[in-house]
Chain A
Amino acid sequence: MCTSIVEIAAAEGMAKREDDWFALTHSVVAYDHARHAVLADVITIDFVNTSLPPSARAAVELTLDAAKALNAALAKAIAEAEIEEAERSQGLERMRLGAPAPAAPSRIAA
C-alpha cells in the first residue's frame, strides 16, 4: 500500500457475498486508490473473515463525503441503539425488583 492509512477493528457479526452469509472477524478501513470506483482515492471498507479464503469479503469503496455521511449515520444509529439498550436494561432491572414502569417512554423526541 502506498498510503499507510489502514485501521483494523475486530468484528463480530455476519456479512453477505452473493447469496451466502459468512461470519466476520474484522472490519478494515483504509484510504487508498480505488480498485473499482472510477475515483482516485477512496475510503475502502472490507468486512472479512481472515480464517476463511479471500473471497470471504464484503467490500465498499466510498468517496470521503459518502464515508462522512455513513459515519454520521452510524454514529446516530449507535447513539439511539445505546439509549434503547439502556432502557431495556432498566426495564429488566425493574422487572427483577418488581417496580412499576415509567409513565411514558423517555426517548420520544419533541
Chain B
Amino acid sequence: MTYRGMTVEEIKINGDKGTPISAYTARPSGPGPFPGVVLVHHLPGWSEIYCEMTRKFAHHGYIAICANLYERNGQGNPDDVAAKVRAEGGVPDAQVVGDTEAAVKWIRAQPGLNGKVGVFGSCSGGRHAFLYACHKKDVDACVDLWGGRVVMGKEELNAKTPTPPIELTKSLSCPLLGIFGNEDRAPSPEQVDQHEAELKKHGKAYEFHRYDGAGHGIFYYHRPLYRVEQALDGWNKVFAFFGKHLAR
C-alpha cells in the first residue's frame, strides 16, 4: 500500500550528549499503525536525496526520520558542510551512534507506530547503520547499502573510528540486508566476502545481494553511478526486507 498524502517537517531532536540537531521527518497520512525507518545519511551529507528517500519511505507507509549528523560542523550547502567534515577528519562513530539513537527514540515516541523500527543507510551511512545495529538493540532490521570501511586496516583506525565495524558483527542485534555492486572498490567484493563470512560465523540472519554491472551508489539517480535495473530490483529488496521484519 502506498500513501500519497504525508506530513513532512524539519524538527529538532536531542542528539548525542543532548546536543540539539536537526532532523527531516515524513509521516504517511492516516492513523497507522506504521512501522518506522531511521535513515542514516551518507558522506555527501544531509542532502536532497536523503530528504527524497525519507519521503519515499513515508510513501510506502513508514514513519521516517533522517537526522543531520553534520549539524555540529556548520550550516549551509550540504556539499560545503560535507567538505568541512572531511577537512576535520570525519565525524566520530560514537557521535553518529548517539545521534541515531535519538532518531530511533523520536520514532518510538510517535503515535501510530506499530512498534517496529528499521535503520537504513548508504555509503558511510550503510556502515553507520550496521554499526548502530551492533551497538544497540532497539532496531528490528538493518539495511546497509554498499557501506565501505566495514572492514578497516589498522592504519585507518583513529580516535573517531577506533573499531572496524566487522569486529562488532557478533553483537549484531537484528537481521541485516546488504546490497553491493561487484565493481565497487569500497567495499570491494573481497571485503563483502569477509563480512559475509563473519556473519555466517556468528550465525546472524542476513541477506546479501551483489549486482554485476554496478559499483558504488547504485540508487543515486543523479550520478553516473546509477544503475537503473539494479536500483529498481534493490529497492524491491529493501521494501520486501522491511516488509518482512517490520510488520506486526
Instruction: Show the binding face of A for B, using Cβ within 8 Å.
Output: 1-4, 6, 8, 26, 28, 30, 32-36, 38-40, 44, 46, 48, 50, 53-55, 57, 59
Contact = CB atoms under 8 A, between A and B. Distances in A.
Contacts, number: 80
B73 A54 contact: yes
Nearest to B148: A2
Interface string B92-129: 00000000000000000000000000000001100100
Most buried by B among A33, A34, A38, A59: A33
Contacts of A53: 74-76
Interface of B: 43-44, 73-77, 79-84, 86-90, 123-124, 127, 146-149, 152, 156, 185-187, 215-217, 223-225
Contacts of A6: 86
Between B87, B146, B215, the greatest number of chain A beta carbons within 10 A of the residue's beta carbon is seen for B87
A54 B186 contact: no
B186 A3 contact: yes
B149 A2 contact: yes
Given A28-B83, A28-B86, A57-B80, A2 B147 contact: yes
Given A2-B124, A4-B149, A54-B81, A33 B217 contact: yes
